[in-house]
Structure 1
Amino acid sequence: MTRDRDTPRSGGRLMDMVPHLILMLGVLIFAFPIYVTIIGSTWDAATIGRGNLPLTPGGEMLNNYASAWSESQGNRVMHTPVRIMMWNSLVMALVIALGKIAISIISAYAVAFFRFPLRMVFFWMIFITLMLPVEVRIIPTYEVVANLGLIDSYAGLTIPLIASATATLLFRQFFLTIPDELVEAAKIDGAGALRFFLDVVLPLSRTNIAALFVILFIYGWNQYLWPLLITNSAEMETVVIGITKMIGNGEAATDWNLIMATTVLAMLPPVAVVVLMQRWFVKGLVDSEK
C-alpha cells in the first residue's frame, strides 16, 4: 500500500522536473557559444586558426585583453582600441536611453493629462511612426544629419535615434491608469502640473522607467546600421562596428583571439546594466504603492 501511494508521487515529481530540464538544456545551448568565446579569448591566434581550440582556458588571457583594450595593432590586422570603441558605444547607449525616456515621458504626460486642440491627432501621428521601419527613413534622416554637419559626431550618432513612439505609447497607457481622484487630490493640495509630475507621476513610473532603460540601453548599445552610415573615422567607431571590421576579409587576416576578447568586453556593459537594474526593477514590481 505504501508503494502504491509513493508511485504517483514519484511520477508527479518527475513530471515537475521536465520543465526545469528543458530550461537547463536551453541555457546550455545558449551559453555554450559564449563559453567558447571566453575560452577563445585566452588562447593565441594560431591555436584558434588551426581549429584546435580546447575547451579549457589558455595562458594568453592577459595579453589578449590588454592588446585589445589599448593597442591598435594586432598580429595580423590593425584595429581601433576597444577602450575608444566602448566609450563611443557607452555614450551612444546612455544618451539614447535617457533621451528617449525623457522625451517620451514628457510627451506622454502632455497627451494623457492636458487637453489642447489636436491632442489625439498628434498622438496618432507619433503612433503611426511605429509602422515605419528604420530602413524606410534612414536615407532622409542621413541627409538631414549631413546637412547639419553632424557626420562623425556624438550628436549625429544619438539625436536621430532619441525619439521613441514605443516608449511614448507605453507611458501614456500607464498614465491613463492613474486614478482621477489622485489628480483631483493634487489639485486640491495646490500642486501644479510640474509639481504633480515630479512628486506623483515620476515615482509611480519608476518600474516603467527601469524596464525601458534596460531595453533602450541594449538597443543603443547594439546599433549597427546607423553608426555604420554616420561614422567615417576610427575615433568614432562603436564596438559593434569595430568587431565586424576586425574580422577582415578572410581567416588568414583575422586575429580571432583579439576578436573574442573584444566580444567578451562588449558584453560586459549590457550584462552589468541588466544585473544592476534587475533588483531595482523587481522592487518596483512588488512595491505595494505601485
Structure 2
Amino acid sequence: MIENARSIDRTATVLLLLGSVFVLLPLAFVAITATQSYGDFLRNNFSLLPGTHFWDNVAAVWSLTDLPRQIMNSVIVAALVSGGKCFLAFTTAYAVVFFRTRYVPLVYAAVVASIMLPIELRVITVYQVASNLALPVNAAANTGGLWAVLFGAPLDLQLNALDSYAGIALPLMAQGAGTLILVQFFKTLPRDLARAATMDGAGPLRFMADVLLPLSKGPLLSLFIYFFIGGWVDYMWPLVAASSPEMQTAVVGLARLGPGMEEDIPNYPLEMTGAIMVTVIPLVLIALTQRRIVRGLALSEK
C-alpha cells in the first residue's frame, strides 16, 4: 500500500509539472518578449534570455497609445457588468425561491434559458436596440397609425447608447448564470427563515436586506469577481458597441496595438507589454480573492 501511494504521488507530481509547463510556457514567452526592444526583436526574432527594455516598453505603451484610458474603461465596464449581474441575480433568485406564484417557474425558465443565448448570437438585435433605445416606444406609439393621425407624423424618438459605458455594460448584464447559482444557495437556507422574519414584523424588502443579503455575502462576492473577470475579457460586444478609441475596452485596444499597414512588421515587444499591463488587474484580483471565490461557490452548491 505504501509503494502504491508513493507511485500515485509521483505520477501526480509529474502530471502537475507537465500541466504547469503547458500553462506557464506561453506566459514565459510573453514576459521575455516584453523585455526586448523592437530592434533586438527584429535582429534575433526571439531570445530565450530576457532583455532590459521592459520599462521602456511600458513607458511607450503608456504615453503613445490609448491603452491606459482603455484599461480604466475596462475597470468601469467590468464593475458595472458584475454589479448589475449580481443585483439581477440576487433579486431574481429571491423572487423565485421565496415567492410562490404560478408564474415563478416560467420566469425562472426564461432566466435560465438566457444562458443558452449568449450575446454573440444576439449581437445584431442588441446593436439595433442599443443604437436607439426608443425603438420599443416608437413601435408601440406607431402601431395602427394612431400617432400619425393625431400628430401628423409617426413618432421617431432617438436615444443612442452606443459609445457609452451604459451601452457597453447593459447588454452584458442579461445573463442568468448568477440566478441559477443563487437559487441553489437560497434553497439550502432553512425554509422557516422567511416565516420567522415575518412573525418578527419584517416585510419582504426588510427580510431581503437585513437577513438574506448578509447571508449571501460569500456567494455574491464570488459571483462579483467571476463576473468582473468575464466582463474584463469580453471582446465581441465592446468591439461592436464602442467605435471610438476613447471608449474601447483594454482587450479591444490591445488587439489594435498592431501595425497600421499590412506590410509593417508587428511590434511584438510593445504588444506583449500591453498584454501584461491588461492582465495585471485580473491576476491580482484572483490572487487576493481565490480562497473566497472557492468558499463562496462551495457554499452555493451545498
Q: List gaps (5 residues or longer) in structure 2.
A: 133-158
Q: Are residue 255 (structure 1) and residue 273 (structure 2) matched? A: no
How far 1:193 moved relative to its partner? 1.6
2:119, 2:171 within 8 Å by CA — same for their partners in 1? no
Query: Residue 5 of structure 1 corresponds to which residue in structure 2?
Result: none
Q: Are residue 274 (structure 1) and residue 286 (structure 2) matched? A: yes
Q: Which amino acid aligns with 2:245?
A: A
Deviations 1:41-75 (A, max 9, x none): 11101222344422222111111011112223xxx
Query: Structure 1 residues 91-100 or 205-214, which shifts more?
Result: 205-214
2:222, 2:294 within 8 Å by CA — same for their partners in 1? no
Distance 1:283 1:167 in 2: 16
1:104, 1:163 within 8 Å by CA — same for their partners in 2? no
How far 1:117 moved relative to its partner? 4.7
* Structure 2 SS opposite 1:48: helix
TM-score under structure 1 normalisation? 0.86
How far 1:220 moved relative to its partner? 0.4
Distance 2:14 2:167 in 1: 47
Query: Residue 169 of structure 1 corresponds to which residue in structure 2?
Result: 180
1:85, 1:237 within 8 Å by CA — same for their partners in 2? yes
Query: Residue 162 of structure 2 corresponds to which residue in structure 1?
Result: 151
Distance 1:251 1:179 in 2: 66
Distance 1:172 1:211 in 2: 15
Query: Residue 241 of structure 1 corresponds to which residue in structure 2?
Result: 252
1:229 corresponds, among 221, 240, 244, to: 240
1:218 corresponds, among 216, 219, 229, to: 229
Q: Which amino acid aligns with 2:71?
A: M
* Amino-acid identity (%): 36
* Structure 1 SS opposite 2:121: helix
Query: Residue 160 of structure 1 corresponds to which residue in structure 2?
Result: 171
Distance 1:145 1:259 in 2: 31
1:185 corresponds, among 196, 220, 225, to: 196
TM-score under structure 2 normalisation? 0.83
1:239, 1:266 within 8 Å by CA — same for their partners in 2? yes
Cα pair distance change 1:251/1:210, threshold 3 Å: farther
Q: Which amino acid aligns with 1:56?
A: L
Distance 1:286 1:213 in 2: 15
Distance 1:15 1:126 in 2: 44
1:210, 1:277 within 8 Å by CA — same for their partners in 2? no
> Any residues of structure 2 matched to 1:24-173 within 5 Å, and which?
24-72=17-65, 80=66, 82-147=67-132, 148-173=159-184
Cα pair distance change 1:116/1:246, threshold 3 Å: same
Distance 1:40 1:203 in 2: 46
Which stretches of structure 1, 4 residues or longer, exceed 4 Å deviation after superposition?
Answer: 282-287
Query: Structure 1 residues 122-131 or 9-18, which shifts more?
Result: 9-18
Q: Which amino acid aligns with 1:162?
A: M
Distance 1:150 1:53 in 2: 44
2:119, 2:172 within 8 Å by CA — same for their partners in 1? no
Deviations 1:192-242 (A, max 9, x none): 222221232222222321221222111101111101111111111211111
Q: Which amino acid aligns with 1:126?
A: V
Report how many residues are paired.
273
1:167, 1:212 within 8 Å by CA — same for their partners in 2? yes
Deviations 1:170-210 (A, max 9, x none): 21222122111222222222222222212322222223212
Distance 2:37 2:180 in 1: 49
Q: Which amino acid aligns with 1:221?
A: W
Query: Residue 4 of structure 1 corresponds to which residue in structure 2?
Result: none
Q: Which amino acid aligns with 2:258?
A: I
Q: Which amino acid aligns with 1:114?
A: F
Cα pair distance change 1:176/1:9, threshold 3 Å: closer
Distance 1:196 1:49 in 2: 64
Distance 1:132 1:85 in 2: 27
Query: Residue 77 of structure 1 corresponds to which residue in structure 2?
Result: none
